[in-house]
Structure 1
Amino acid sequence: MPGAALPSLLAWLAVLLLGRARPADACSCSPIHPQQAFCNADVVIRAKAVSAKEVDSGNDIYGNPIKRIQYEVKQIKMFKGPDQDIEFIYTAPSTAVCGQPLDTGGKKEYLIAGKSEGDGKMHITLCDLVATWDSLSPTQKKSLNQRYQMGCECKISRCLSIPCFVSSSDECLWTDWAMEKIVGGRQAKHYACIKRSDGSCAWYRGMAPPKQEFLDIEDP
């Protein structure tokens, strides 16, 4: 009978919908090259977190208080950002809602990239570039001063499997995942995508500034 099939159909639909459901508070981030994280950020600093406390940051649309973690930080160096030092960094209270935890006590140094909130404040999420300073390669540290900025007009495209191809001359293919099955591979640690004098972009490896011959070459 047609009516007998209805409960089974409803049960199947319920399983299908539950299988597609995602937790409302889950945090998901797409991997990006460190240079992309640098270029996307308003502020990039080297700093230590001194202390942390939970603070109210207004109310949501239902009138409930919005909680954030406020980190007091000691800035060591600014690579990108406003003229004044960053004194406070804000983030969500847990990783489930993309909060980025920092160790406090002032012993661990971080590279921190995020969004400016003005008046010596910035906001970070789990999707921003936050790494311990000691975990960075020498090339990554050197690239923060100028190299990454030289390629902010370039496009870095993630290659998931070989073969993959560039779609324009101002594009660099990021193949760490396709070649090494990790996102922090050779290109992430040792390469920057640099814009050259003809408008094309190409990967550059090395700690020394790119030579004029590299910048003037016509073929990407």
Structure 2
Amino acid sequence: MPRSPSIAPSWVLVLRLLALLRPPGLGEACSCVPTHPQEHFCNSAVVIRAKVSSEKIVTASDDPSDTQKLIRYEIKQTKMFKGFEKVKDIQYVYTPTVPPLCGVRLIANNQKQYLLTGDVLSDGKIFISLCNEVLPWEDVSSAQRESLNHGYLINCGCKITTCYSADCTNLVRNECLWTDWLLERRLYGNQAQHFICKKNADSTCSWQLVHHHPLRKALVDIIQP
């Protein structure tokens, strides 16, 4: 039965959204809204640590008339931080092949590990792009690793707002101002690397330094190489 022309597959809607995120006049550039790692975690359907085994260009859907392509990465999931209720073991993740739509390039050597955050589409595909957090595991700080296991999830009720100027102020009680750019002239500085926006007993939110545990991190890395 032919697909109704009024209903677009879920991956098409995602690609259209990514296109809308690209400001006019940037041509082939990919552009995403800056997002703190905690917000990446909270806004993503799945968060995993994985190795990439292989990559393949595949059609985006089973519709014979569909000419769009995606990159399909075959992965070996070594740790799931979020998404247990949506998927079990993830075998593949998908990303756009078109540069303006923020397709992700991963090294498929079955050795390099990544932190991957993504979305689950209606057809069950796990979709990632440069607008998600996609990092080599060695670039994930000790505090971030600790927060992936213990801190981010329980503080998803907090809102993190990027602060670009000295006159920005808290507008809501559960908001933390992300000032890395203002203070360090880089987005992913001290607050991104070492802090969580923590919910307090009075329902306000504030920054808290993550006290990581080197021994626990070492044990996790040994158990899940």
Shorter-chain TM band: 0.7 to 0.9
> Are residue 116 (structure 1) and residue 135 (structure 2) matched?
no
- CA-to-partner distance for each residue in 1:117-174, whole Å, 9 max, x for gaps? 3787411011100001101110000000120112211110100011321112210010
Which residue identity is paired with 2:45?
A: D
> Are residue 184 (structure 1) and residue 188 (structure 2) matched?
yes
Length, aligned pairs only: 188
CA distance in 2, matches of 1:199, 1:21: 39
- The residue number in structure 2 matching 1:141 is 145
Structure 1 segments, 4+ long, off by >3 Å, are: 23-26, 117-121
> Are residue 66 (structure 1) and residue 68 (structure 2) matched?
yes
Which residue identity is paired with 2:73?
A: Y
Q: Which one has the largest radius of gyration?
A: 1
Which residue identity is paired with 1:29?
A: C
Unaligned segments of structure 1, at least 5 residues:
1-19, 210-220
Unaligned segments of structure 2, at least 5 residues:
1-22, 214-225
5 Å matches for 1:45-64?
A: 45-58=48-61, 63-64=65-66
Compute the RMSD of aligned alpha carbons: 2.2
TM-score (normalizing by structure 2): 0.77
> Are residue 40 (structure 1) and residue 22 (structure 2) matched?
no
Identical columns (%): 43
Which residue identity is paired with 1:167?
A: L
| Cα distance, 1:30 vs structure 2 | 1.2
| Cα distance, 1:59 vs structure 2 | 8.2
Go from structure 1 to structure 2 and tell me whether the alpha carbon gap of 1:25 and 1:208 turns closer, same or farther (over 3 Å shift). closer
TM-score (normalizing by structure 1): 0.79
CA distance in 2, matches of 1:191, 1:132: 20
CA distance in 2, matches of 1:159, 1:24: 27
Which residue identity is paired with 1:168?
A: V
